[in-house]
Chains A and B, each alone.
Chain A
Amino acid sequence: MNRFHLLVVVASFAALASCTTNQSALLPPLPEVEAHVISGGAPIRMQPVALESASTAASSAAPLEPVRSVASIPSEASLEKEFQAVISSEDVDKETRQYIDRVARIFYRTQALLNDYDAKLDDYAKQTNVADGALQTDDTYARLISAWSLREETTAKITYFYKRANEIAHARMNDSKVSKDLQNRALLMNRAIRNTVVSSANSTNRLAKQNLLKELIEVQKSGAFSNQILNGARETSDFYERNKLQLARETENARKDEEINQEIEARAPEIKAALAEQYEKRTPQSVGAIAPGLGRSGMMNGFEFKTGRWALTFDDGPHSTYTPQALANLKANDMKATFFWIAQNVSKMPSIVKQAQAAGHTLANHSYTHANLPKLGPGGLRHEIIESTTVDVQNGYRPRFFRCPYGACGSQTSAVRQKIADLGLVSVTWNVDSLDWQDKNPQSVYERVKKQMAVQKRGIILFHDIHPQSIAASKMLMADFAAGQKKGIYRTVTIDQAFDELNTAEGMK
Chain B
Amino acid sequence: MKIVIAALALVLTACSSSEKKVDETKSALVAAPVPAVTTSEDVLQRYSIVELNSVANLMKVIIDENKNGEDIIGCPLTPKEAGTYTMPLKYLIDQQMRAETEAYTADPKNYAIEKGFETCASQCACGVLSDVVNGANESSLPRGVSSKLHPRNKQRLAQKASHQSKRESLACARKQSSFCNSDLKAYLQKEAKDNAD
Contacts and interface: CB of A to CB of B under 8 A. Distances in A.
A408 B91 contact: yes
B160 to A, nearest CB: 9
A9 B22 contact: no
Interface in A420-476: 429, 433, 435, 437-442, 444, 448, 451, 468-469
B133 to A, nearest CB: 12
Contact of B195 (A275, A288, A407): A407
Contact of B15 (A16, A295, A444): A16
Given A5-B1, A12-B8, A124-B10, A281 B21 contact: no
Q: Kindly state the interface size class of chain A when it binds its partner.
A: 35 or more
B126 A433 contact: no
Contact of A285 (B3, B21, B83, B161): B21
A406 B7 contact: no
B13 interface: yes
Q: Kindly state the interface size class of chain B when it binds its partner.
A: 35 or more
Contacts of B22: 283, 285, 413
A437 B90 contact: yes
A134 interface: yes
Contact of A9 (B7, B18, B195): B7
Contact of B3 (A5, A13, A19, A435): A5
A125 B13 CA distance: 8
B87 interface: yes
A8 B7 contact: yes
A124 B86 CA distance: 33
Contacts of A433: 63, 83, 86
B194 A375 contact: no
B143 interface: no
B149 to A, nearest CB: 21
A66 interface: no
A134 B90 contact: no
Interface string B57-101: 100100110100000000000000001001110110010000000
A366 B108 CA distance: 33
Contact of B2 (A118, A130, A285, A468): A118
Interface string A265-289: 0000001000100110111110010
A282 B91 CA distance: 33
Contacts of B11: 12, 15-16, 135, 275
Nearest to B88: A406
B113 interface: no
Interface string B128-140: 0010000000000
B12 interface: yes
24 contacts: A1-B2, A4-B4, A8-B3, A9-B3, A9-B4, A12-B11, A121-B2, A121-B3, A124-B6, A125-B6, A260-B1, A282-B18, A375-B40, A405-B91, A406-B91, A407-B87, A413-B21, A413-B22, A435-B60, A440-B126, A441-B161, A441-B162, A441-B165, A469-B162
Interface of B: 1-19, 21-22, 25, 40, 53, 56-57, 60, 63-64, 66, 83, 86-88, 90-91, 94, 126-127, 130, 158, 161-166, 191, 194-197
Interface of A: 1, 4-6, 8-9, 12-13, 15-16, 19, 117-119, 121-122, 124-128, 130-135, 260, 264, 271, 275, 278-279, 281-285, 288, 295, 297, 299, 301, 370, 372, 374-375, 405-413, 429, 433, 435, 437-442, 444, 448, 451, 468-469
10 closest residue pairs by CB, A with B: A440-B161, A285-B18, A125-B9, A125-B6, A121-B6, A297-B197, A9-B7, A406-B87, A279-B15, A5-B3
